[in-house]
Amino acid sequence: MRAEDALTAATTAATEWHQTPRTQQGPRRSVEEIYGADVFGPRVMRERLPKETYKAFMRTIEQGERLDPSVADVIASVMKDWAIERGATHFTHWFQPLTGSTAEKHDAMLIPAGNGEVVTQFSGADLVQGEPDASSFPSGGLRATFEARGYTAWDPTSPAFIVRGPNHGTLCIPTAFVSWTGEALDKKTPLLRSIDAISKQAMRILALFGTDEGVRSVRTSLGTEQEYFLVDRNLYFARPDLVTCDRTLFGAKPPKGQELEDHYFGAIPQRVIAYMAEVEEELYRLGVPVKTRHNEVAPGQYEIAPIFEETNVACDHQMLVMEVLKRVAPRYGLQAILHEKPFAGVNGSGKHNNWSLATDTGVNLLDPRDEAHTNLQFMVFLCAVIRAVDLHADILRASIASAANDHRLGANEAPPAIISIYLGDMLTDLLEQLEKGTPKRTLKGGALDLGARTLPQIPRHSGDRNRTSPFAFTGNKFEFRAVGSSAAVSWPNTVMNTIVAESLDFIATELERAVAGKARKDSLESACKKILKAIVKEHKRVVFNGDGYSESWQIEAEKRGLPNLKDSIAAFRVLGSRQARALFKKYKVLKPAELESRVSIFYEKYTKQIQIESEQMVLMGRQLILPAAVRHQIELAEAVMAREGADIDAAEAREDLRAFCDLVDRFRQKIDALDQLDDASPEGDPVRHAEYLKNKVIPTMDDCRELGDQLETHISADLWPLPTYRELLFIR
């Protein structure tokens, strides 16, 4: 679409949306009515399954017992009837290949009956196992294309659901995806393994404290806050960079961006809130407990956050949140952009990953409670996390590395690339006490007196918030804020679980040794204090409560010996280390070959993404920006000639023309240089290729962008061929 037509269409759409009278609005259906309506979850199963089947199934979910094939047959048959009643015609095994998105291949739930008719069918075997062609998904060298066999295996711990739309309804069954040789080809399998690993180690700690009674497992909980941008879809289609790369490759800074800080938590525009409500309705139907919505810092930027859930389900639900955000937007003439940095000069998008540990009976193990200093078990879990994050800061950093996230991390806005922990006053004080000996007090926040008689006194938290920390303790959970907005969260959580499992293992082993054969209570207490003291001493360097964006922190962090992996390439390297291999192997999360395959896919994704961007940039430079520049150049030249023809002094006009021509020439040269670099790419070895892109291509892209943006501010508006930042960010 031409920029001009797009702009007309966009402004018309926006105007119409805002003319809709308020009286026609309001929720269409109550949440109670629709929540979980499309989920084959425990409630439906309790109602519909024979009692024995239901019990057997719950034993699988709660105790990890293997599912009997006959049980699967019964469940499949009930599931089929339920799905068909709700308008589903097809089923699919829904999985998370290493591409970072989800995959599905649909099959109709029917077979020929032999008499020219068909009957519906969906068997236990259909439910439990599928066989997609593994060679069509990235395997990072795990599978050669001639060895194509791969299996999907039903994950009964994440409920099946129906995805519906015009003319279709599809029963989606969450599955793991593995190769014929049993290697994980997806993101779910290692996540499930890491959940087992951390549960096993955490249970040892609970057993030591005697708090494991009635507890069958320890789970991690996850709540993800998703940031995203919305742009008018007409404008989106007029931006080849947004369509191809989900981010703008050019775009001059508008006079007004986020400077006035008037967007964050501002009133949500009518079209946007109507969109949000429909997103929420779809997610409620799918049983995703979304709770929070608001404007984010940048104009055109928003956030959606669910209530936390068990991590495996939360990760599946996160994928659904991203899908639904994208799917619903066009119905409102909008495009949802999940890229980490769609617009230069305004805030990028992240996905805060709120993580905690809880027993299956619902006790949050990272809740300090009122008198934290008496809560030794809490201190053990807290110190286990601190130790894990310090010891494996590099692997944690690597878990969120991507070409897109490189634009955010360390770029003076979102969390820095240095992994540190914000603890706040209360816990920092607690650690200091631990280091000295026995903690004797818990700092209290007290109450806040607002000074106006009619306002209530409100309790104050014991510490302020810190928005600049990549990893912050926020009351009863840790918030990992460096995760990218487009990322699948299963991988960073796999890493979190594994590194904390290792720390819990370390502490449990020490404690078990110390209490062996001794009177339990006293020896446990003194052993705990001893080991926690040592952990604090050794790992407190990772705790930082100050301003993570400041220059001085970079210097201070280096003094403390904290790794500062500035970009993805530096981070990926870590995953190839002996330590990383040993860690994932020891806790049976990833075999060395599985880890290796992931690393090579990370490189591959990185190189492909940048290559696509740079090729797109060359095309935009040549097909859109240069032609506009040449036209503008002609106009300037004509103006010079007109003046000269009329015998008016043309010196300044000629100077303008000269300066402009010079800018155009420099732009053309840079675009040509980028094109040549693309042609000379050393493909084949992904590591070398990635380094080449980082060292040669990205700096040239930056140059092209700078010159292109200068051109934008000089070329007359009616000749400029792209919707501008002002239009993209403010038409809504």
Chain residues in the site for Mg ion (CB under 5 A): 225, 352
Partner interacting with residue 271 (select from ligand ADP, Mg ion, none; CB below 5-8 Å by kind): none
CA distance 163 to 172: 7
Instruction: Give the binding range for ligand ADP (CB under 6 A) out of 33-41, 229-237, 352-360, 559-567.
Output: 352-360
Span 209-238, contacts to ligand ADP by CB under 6 A: 221-223, 225
CB half-sphere exposure, 435, CA atoms < 13 A: 13
Residue 145 burial by Cβ neighbours in a 10 Å radius (0-12, 13-18, 19+): exposed
Beta bridge partners of 458: 448
Query: Which tokens sit at 65?
Result: 């017992």
Amino acid at 573: R
Partner interacting with residue 306 (select from ligand ADP, Mg ion, none; CB below 5-8 Å by kind): ligand ADP
Closer residue to Mg ion, CB minimum distance, 352 or 392: 352
Measuring CA to CA, how many Å separate 654 from each of 78, 632, 643, 714, 719? 80, 14, 10, 15, 20
CA distance 554 to 371: 35
Residue nearest to Mg ion (CB): 352
What's the closest the beta carbon of residue 467 comes to Mg ion, in angstroms? 9
Binding mask 467-506 for ligand ADP (x = CB under 6 A): -------x-xx-----------------------------
Instruction: Return the residue matching tokens 């290729």.
Output: 689
What's the closest the beta carbon of residue 260 comes to ligand ADP, in angstroms? 22
Span 170-209, contacts to ligand ADP by CB under 6 A: none
Residues in binding contact with ligand ADP, number by CB under 6 A: 16
Partner interacting with residue 307 (select from ligand ADP, Mg ion, none; CB below 5-8 Å by kind): ligand ADP
Residue nearest to ligand ADP (CB): 223
Partner interacting with residue 594 (select from Mg ion, ligand ADP, none; CB below 5-8 Å by kind): none
353 binds ligand ADP (CB under 6 A): no
Of 513, 436, 425, nearest in space to 475 by CA: 425
State the DSSP string of 589-651. S--HHHHHHHHHHHHHHHHHHHHHHHHHHHHHIIIIIHHHHHHHHHHHHHHHHHHHHTT---H
What's the closest the beta carbon of residue 292 comes to ligand ADP, in angstroms? 7
Tell me the H-state helices in 188-239.
188-209, 233-237
Closer residue to ligand ADP, CB minimum distance, 75 or 305: 305
- Identify the three-state secondary structure at position 228: strand
Instruction: Give the binding range for ligand ADP (CB under 6 A) out of 232-240, 300-308, 444-452, 688-696.
Output: 300-308
Binding mask 251-290 for ligand ADP (x = CB under 6 A): ----------------------------------------
Give phi and psi for 302, each to the nearest 5: -140, 170
Closer residue to ligand ADP, CB minimum distance, 321 or 729: 321
What's the closest the beta carbon of residue 479 comes to Mg ion, in angstroms? 5
CA distance 477 to 145: 43
Instruction: Give the binding range for ligand ADP (CB under 6 A) out of 98-106, 299-307, 558-566, 645-653.
Output: 299-307
Going by C-beta distance under 8 Å and a sequence separation of 6 or more, which residues neighbour residue 542? 386, 389, 390, 393, 419, 420, 421, 562
Closer residue to ligand ADP, CB minimum distance, 215 or 619: 215
Find the helix packing angle between 376-391 and 490-515, rounded to 10°. Answer: 120
What's the closest the beta carbon of residue 350 comes to ligand ADP, in angstroms? 11
Partner interacting with residue 228 (select from Mg ion, ligand ADP, none; CB below 5-8 Å by kind): none
Longest Cα–Cα distance of the chain, Å, equals 107
State the DSSP string of 59-88. HHHHH-PPPPHHHHHHHHHHHHHHHHHTT-
What's the closest the beta carbon of residue 550 comes to Mg ion, in angstroms? 21
CA distance 183 to 137: 14
What's the closest the beta carbon of residue 290 comes to ligand ADP, in angstroms? 9
Q: How far, rounded to the nearest angstrom, does the alpha carbon of residue 451 sit from its chain's CA centroid? A: 42
CA distance 25 to 274: 9
Partner interacting with residue 305 (select from ligand ADP, Mg ion, none; CB below 5-8 Å by kind): ligand ADP
Query: Which tokens sit at 286?
Result: 């799918």
CB neighbourhood size of 169 (10 A) = 16
Spatial contact of 601 and 431, defined as CB atoms under 8 Å apart: no
Spatial contact of 334 and 271, defined as CB atoms under 8 Å apart: yes
What's the closest the beta carbon of residue 344 comes to Mg ion, in angstroms? 24
Query: Which tokens sit at 486?
Result: 């487009």
What's the closest the beta carbon of residue 383 comes to ligand ADP, in angstroms? 18
What's the closest the beta carbon of residue 301 comes to ligand ADP, in angstroms? 14
Of 527, 544, 535, nearest in space to 500 by CA: 535
Closer residue to ligand ADP, CB minimum distance, 286 or 722: 286
Closer residue to ligand ADP, CB minimum distance, 271 or 352: 352
Candidates 108, 307, 448, 555: give the one binding ligand ADP (CB under 6 A). 307
305 binds ligand ADP (CB under 6 A): yes
What's the closest the beta carbon of residue 352 comes to Mg ion, in angstroms? 4
Instruction: Give the binding range for ligand ADP (CB under 6 A) out of 149-157, 274-282, 301-309, 443-451.
Output: 301-309
- What is residue 137's DSSP assignment? S
93 binds ligand ADP (CB under 6 A): no
What's the closest the beta carbon of residue 508 comes to ligand ADP, in angstroms? 22
Closer residue to ligand ADP, CB minimum distance, 476 or 611: 476
Site for ligand ADP, rule CB under 6 A = 221-223, 225, 305-308, 352, 354-356, 364, 474, 476-477
